[in-house]
Structure 1
Amino acid sequence: MTEPTFANVDEYIAHQKDKLRQAPECGNTHYNLGVAYLSKREFQEAERCFREAMSNSPKMAEAYVQLGGICLERGDMEGCLNFNRQATQIRPFFAVPWGNIGFVLLQLGDSDKAIPALQKAIKYDPNFVQAMATLGSAHFSRGELDDALPLLKKAVELQPMFGPAWNNLALVQAELGQWAEAAASVKKAQESGYDVPQALLDEIAAKAK
């Protein structure tokens, strides 16, 4: 039986609600409804659905990850960390929560703990571009340029329109004095729609001549 098609997200939401009336304890349906609300940025409704999903399917690690994302949206870093840590306890080899943990820890300035989490994320998903780029940023923040460079190069190779990785690659290349390469990287970052800091653009333009 094929899933019906929907003209818009509101039709999809109505369909999921109909399914819940028939099976109110279906964790997957609560989860799908939460994702739909998330796409509309209706965070309160999305949170309620993910909590219902978690209640009915306690081992649904994805629901914990989504709740962590809502915490991050609200600026609640500790809440994001806690939900993602719970997700790793349920599914230890699920790459996404490890990547999220690494990202948050890096934002909190704890690269010592961020790096092992990001390494786990990439171990469990070798093509996890966001984790790869974040790990490159972590190494850059510590001045470990030789570790940062290959990670960021691989990230943009896997996802050529990932602007933040191009920007961070340019930073590493600038630190290494590779000005022509840095100029090419910031151009790629801009082509992806990423807003490259003017100070970096000016420095590269001056040195790349």
Structure 2
Amino acid sequence: MTTDSKALEGYIAEQKNRLSANPQCGVTHYNLGVALLSRGDFLEAERAFRDAVTHSPTLVEAYVQLGGLALQSGDLEGCLNYNKMAAEGRPMFATPQGNIGFVYMQMGEPSKAARALERAVKLDPNFIQALATLGNAYMMEGDLERAEKVLRQALDKEPMFGPAWNNLALVLLERGEHANALECIDKAVATGYDVRPELLEEVAPYRSQAQPA
């Protein structure tokens, strides 16, 4: 067992000891859940997060974690509902709003996604993932101008955020700006972002056209 593994097991044991003395402490249940996630013990982690909100209903981070576990198992509705509970419990918390927007995008509902993502960005203007996803939602709504504006805002804040470059490339392709789209794709690749092979194939003809004779 590595030193990190030993430290993790020691931390888990410590949280369990604390719960033996005070089983009503929601924060300790939550901390245990996070540690169990790190160990890959998803079922026990889920149980710990459920115990956390049972004893501390305002600990909405546990709802967010439960949403993540639901998403991991392919339960989009479950993820959506948990994040809605988190948003209701703490309306000024940007993370669940961003997650709600992401799930709606996965469900093919860009208008609902955009409204949630707008709330997320209003609460946290530096929420880069929400900005990038919002740009994609605007594009799917057909509002290319707003999509480009939001994506450039994201890249102004974090120039190495690959998903924003990728989404901006999609917007520019919709406009027929192939050379600019290629540049964005190259920047996305340079960040280490895994651009979809289908997109790379789509732009390949334009790349050859851009080469000097």
TM-score (norm 1): 0.89
**8 Å contact 2:53–2:59 — kept in the other structure?**
yes
Distance 1:27 1:78, change over 3 A: same
Partner of 1:110: 109
Are residue 51 (structure 1) and residue 60 (structure 2) matched? no
Are residue 190 (structure 1) and residue 189 (structure 2) matched? yes
- Stretches of structure 2 that go unaligned for 5 or more consecutive residues are none
Partner of 1:134: 133
Distance in 1 between the 2:30 and 2:108 partners?
32
Partner of 1:66: 65
Distance 1:156 1:40, change over 3 A: farther
Percentage of identical aligned residues: 53
Distance 1:172 1:8, change over 3 A: farther
Backbone CA RMSD of aligned residues:
2.0
Q: How is 1:170-209 mapped onto 2 (pairs within 5 angstroms)?
A: 170-208=169-207, 209=210
**8 Å contact 2:105–2:137 — kept in the other structure?**
yes
Helix, strand or coil at the partner of 1:196: coil
- Stretches of structure 1 that go unaligned for 5 or more consecutive residues are none
Distance in 2 between the 1:148 and 1:50 partners?
36
Partner of 2:149: 150
Are residue 20 (structure 1) and residue 16 (structure 2) matched? no
**8 Å contact 1:6–1:12 — kept in the other structure?**
no
Helix, strand or coil at the partner of 1:173: helix
**8 Å contact 2:98–2:120 — kept in the other structure?**
yes
Count of aligned pairs between the two proteins: 205
* 1:71 CA displacement: 0.7
Indicate the larger mover: 24-33 or 181-190: 181-190
Helix, strand or coil at the partner of 1:123: helix
Distance in 1 between the 2:137 and 2:16 partners?
43
Helix, strand or coil at the partner of 1:155: helix
TM-score (norm 2): 0.87
